[in-house]
Every structure is written in structure tokens, then in C-alpha cells.
């Protein structure tokens, strides 16, 4: 699905502006900050002015719309990869303008992924209502964030009527049980963490991915596993050529300490994201939610 984006779960990414403030542990290794602040110096991260992107970027959706009309399909557009669309520190007019572009490009399905789902109802309403071709999603990296963000997402879903609702469990930093909340979720994306600038990726216990996959099998939600991250499972008898870093992770999310050899212990080796790939026990999980043809 990724044509103009390196992200497996979207074809395009669109950034009406850049810049954001960190709000949760999933932000520790913010890719956008590493790229646009630390590397290119285009915007200052945190409580600083956001930077609106130029006319060329704002014209992209219209090009993609014309292409989608020719192809007769409905490509996904992730908005925004370098910001948070429901950031309340941005000029509200920018969000109104972005929503207007979305309404004028109805073949595109906009994925509005946020770490601030508590803002969706208020900010969408202030921007003239959620465009009907937008889906809403929230990042949940552990149970604590799931218990805060998913109820807020579901509450918004019943008010703003998105194409569908989804969660991104990336980087997955602990086990998550979505319980009955999953019945309101059409799509679950999972992924491990990757190194960003000076931030070193934390390992994900493979059972955390599998457990979410099983929850999707039961509920019928589409399951998409993007990547394993920098780490993969390791056993001492595998050896360790090159003396790569090793860490130990407990399936129940409890802290590992030396001498704790419980059955949920998984040792992980840091091999890099290319080597660890995106298969789970040899299978690629690549599902997408269904959207109505126009
Ligand atoms: S919400 Fe997203 S863009 Fe904003 S700081 Fe966190 S990871 Fe970065």
C-alpha cells in the first residue's frame, strides 16, 4: 500500500504543518523531531511555533485525488506524520484549512492519528466538523495509555462519525488488553520501536504483538503488523556473533531483574530493523479496514 510513503499502512503522508509537543512515552523517540528539528532545523520541538508547510505540499492531495479518480480507488493518506492533527497549540485556522482540503478530495481516506484523542470532538467541531472521508485513530503504547486514549477515541467516534476508528500500537512498550473496547475499533496496527537520533529503541516482547493479533481474530478487527523494530527474540544457544546488545523482557510487562527466570521471560537481541523485518513467526500481517467505494 505504501507508494509515496515508507509506511506500510498508508499510501501517502500529508503534513499541513510541522512541529509538536511530547505528551507520552511513545513520543520519547519521536521520528518527526529527530528529522525536522534535530537534523534539518526546520522547526523547534515543544512549546514553540508550529510551521505551516508550503503551497506545493498543500496541492499534493489534489494531485492524489485526480490519480485516484483515474484509478478508481480510495488511497489512504496519513495526516500528519510530522505533527499531531489534534494538537491544540496550532493555529485553529490551519486545521480548518486542512479539513477543507480533505472535503474537496473525497476519494482520499485521511488517517487522523493522534496522541490527543481527548481533543477530537472540540477541535473537529471548531474546524467545521470532521470530514466524512476521515478516519480517527490514537496511539496506545501500553495498557495505561490504552485505558485513557481508547475510551476518548470511542466517545469521539460516536459524535464525529469517522470512516472508521483505529489504534496504532507503535511503539508497543507493554502488553495491552483492549477488552470490550476492541468492538468499536476497526483496525489495529502494531510495531516495534526504532532508533531515532540519540533515542535507543526499547524491545517489544513478541507475545504483546501476538496477543493483539488474537484479540483482532476474535473481534473481527483488521490487523496490520508494520515492523518488529530493532530487536528480535534470542536464545543463548543461538550464540551472539558481533556481541550485539541483549535485553530481557517479561511478557506481563513487569520489570526484569537478574535471577527472574519466569516462564514469561524473553531475551531479545538488537539486530536492526532490516534484519528483524515485519514477519511474526514467518507470517506477514497486512490487513486494512474496508472502506466504501465512492
Ligand atoms: S505526538 Fe507524534 S509528532 Fe508529536 S511529539 Fe509525539 S510522536 Fe512526535
Mean pLDDT value of segment 214-242: 96
Identify the CATH number of the domain in which residue 64 sits.
3.20.20
| Within-domain flag for 128 | yes
pLDDT > 60? residue 186: yes
pLDDT > 60? residue 213: yes
Q: Is 141 in the pocket of ligand 1 (CB under 6 A)?
A: no
Using the mean position of ligand 1's atoms as its centre, give its distance from the Cα of residue 129 in Å: 23
Q: Is 22 in the pocket of ligand 1 (CB under 6 A)?
A: yes
For residue 134, name the pLDDT band (cuts at 50, 70, 90). Answer: very high
Mean pLDDT value of segment 137-142: 98
Of the candidates 139, 196, 175, the residue with the CA atom closest to the CA atom of residue 266: 175
| Within-domain flag for 290 | no
Using the mean position of ligand 1's atoms as its centre, give its distance from the Cα of residue 119 in Å: 15
Q: What number of helices (H) and strands (E) belong to the chain?
A: 7, 14
pLDDT > 70? residue 214: yes
In this prediction the pTM is 0.96
Q: Is 20 in the pocket of ligand 1 (CB under 6 A)?
A: yes
Domain that holds residue 202: 12-276
Mean pLDDT value of segment 42-65: 97
| Within-domain flag for 281 | no
| Within-domain flag for 240 | yes
DSSP label of 200: P
Using the mean position of ligand 1's atoms as its centre, give its distance from the Cα of residue 22 in Å: 6
> In the chain, how many domains are there?
1
Ligand 1 atom 5 nearest Cα = 22
Residue 257: predicted pLDDT:
85
Question: Residue 91 is placed in which grid cell?
Answer: 493555529
Atom of ligand 1 nearest to the CA of 80: 3
pLDDT > 70? residue 3: no
- Which string of DSSP letters, residue by residue, matches 225-293? EEE--SEEE--GGG--TT---EEEEETT-PPP-TT---TTEEEEEE--HHHH-SEETTEE-B-------
* Residue whose C-alpha cell reads 465512492 in the numeric block: 294
Using the mean position of ligand 1's atoms as its centre, give its distance from the Cα of residue 88 in Å: 13
Mutating to test ligand 1, I would choose from 30, 80, 90, 140 the residue with most ligand atoms within 8 A of its C-beta, which is 30
Query: How many whole angstroms separate alpha carbon 291 and alpha carbon 222?
Result: 12
- Residue 22: φ, ψ to 5°: -70, 135
Question: Residue 210 is placed in which grid cell?
Answer: 501476538
| Within-domain flag for 170 | yes
| Within-domain flag for 288 | no
Of the candidates 110, 116, 191, the residue with the CA atom closest to the CA atom of residue 148: 116
Residue 4: predicted pLDDT:
61
Q: Which positions ≥6 away from 146 have C-beta within 8 Å? A: 140, 167, 176, 177, 178, 181
Q: Is 80 in the pocket of ligand 1 (CB under 6 A)?
A: no
Residue 223: predicted pLDDT:
98
For the segment 263-277, what is each residue's pLDDT rounded down to a tens digit? 789 999 999 999 999
Residue 1: predicted pLDDT:
43
| Within-domain flag for 115 | yes
Residue 259: predicted pLDDT:
78
Query: How many whole angstroms separate alpha carbon 213 and alpha carbon 94?
Result: 37
Mean pLDDT value of segment 8-14: 97
Percent of the chain exceeding pLDDT 90 equals 92
Q: Is 60 in the pocket of ligand 1 (CB under 6 A)?
A: no
Residue 239: predicted pLDDT:
95
Ligand 1 atom 7 nearest Cα = 27
Using the mean position of ligand 1's atoms as its centre, give its distance from the Cα of residue 33 in Å: 8
pLDDT > 80? residue 23: yes
For residue 192, name the pLDDT band (cuts at 50, 70, 90). Answer: very high
Mean pLDDT value of segment 193-218: 97
Compute the radius of gyration of the chain from its Cα atoms: 19
Residue 292: predicted pLDDT:
86
Q: Is 273 in the pocket of ligand 1 (CB under 6 A)?
A: no
Average pLDDT, the chain: 95
| Within-domain flag for 105 | yes
Amino acid at each position: 500500500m505504501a507508494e509515496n510513503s515508507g509506511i506500510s499502512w498508508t499510501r501517502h503522508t500529508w503534513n499541513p504543518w510541522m512541529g509538536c509537543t511530547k505528551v507520552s512515552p511513545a513520543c520519547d523517540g519521536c521520528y518527526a523531531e529527530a528529522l525536522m528539528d534535530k537534523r534539518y532545523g526546520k522547526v523547534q520541538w515543544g512549546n514553540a511555533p508550529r510551521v505551516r508547510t508550503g503551497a506545493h505540499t498543500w496541492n499534493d492531495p489534489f494531485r492524489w485525488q485526480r490519480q485516484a479518480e483515474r484509478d478508481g480507488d480510495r488511497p489512504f493518506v496519513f495526516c500528519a506524520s510530522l505533527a499531531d492533527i489534534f494538537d491544540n497549540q496550532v493555529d485553529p485556522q490551519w486545521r480548518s484549512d486542512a479539513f477543507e482540503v480533505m472535503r474537496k478530495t473525497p476519494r482520499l481516506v485521511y488517517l487522523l492519528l493522534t496522541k490527543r484523542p481527548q481533543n477530537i470532538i472540540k477541535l473537529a467541531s471548531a474546524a467545521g466538523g470532521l470530514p466524512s472521508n476521515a478516519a480517527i485513530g490514537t496511539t496506545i503504547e501500553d495498557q495505561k495509555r490504552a485505558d485513557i486514549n481508547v475510551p476518548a477515541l470511542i466517545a469521539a467516534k460516536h459524535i464525529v462519525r469517522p470512516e472508521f476508528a483505529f489504534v496504532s500500537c507503535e511503539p508497543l512498550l507493554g502488553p495491552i488488553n483492549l477488552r470490550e473496547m476492541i468492538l468499536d475499533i476497526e483496525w489495529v496496527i502494531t510495531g516495534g520501536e526504532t532508533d531515532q537520533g540519540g533515542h535507543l529503541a526499547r524491545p517489544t516482547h513478541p507475545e504483546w504483538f501476538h496477543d493483539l493479533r488474537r484479540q483482532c481474530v476474535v473481534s473481527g478487527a483488521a490487523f496490520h503488523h508494520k515492523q518488529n523494530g530493532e530487536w528480535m527474540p534470542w536464545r543463548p544457544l543461538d550464540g551472539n556473533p558481533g556481541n550485539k546488545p541483549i535485553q530481557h523482557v517479561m511478557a506481563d510487562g513487569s520489570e526484569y531483574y537478574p535471577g527472574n527466570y519466569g516462564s514469561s521471560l524473553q531475551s531479545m537481541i538488537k539486530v536492526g530493523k532490516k534484519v528483524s523485518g515485519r514477519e511474526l513467526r514467518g507470517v506477514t500481517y497486512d490487513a486494512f479496514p474496508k472502506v466504501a467505494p465512492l
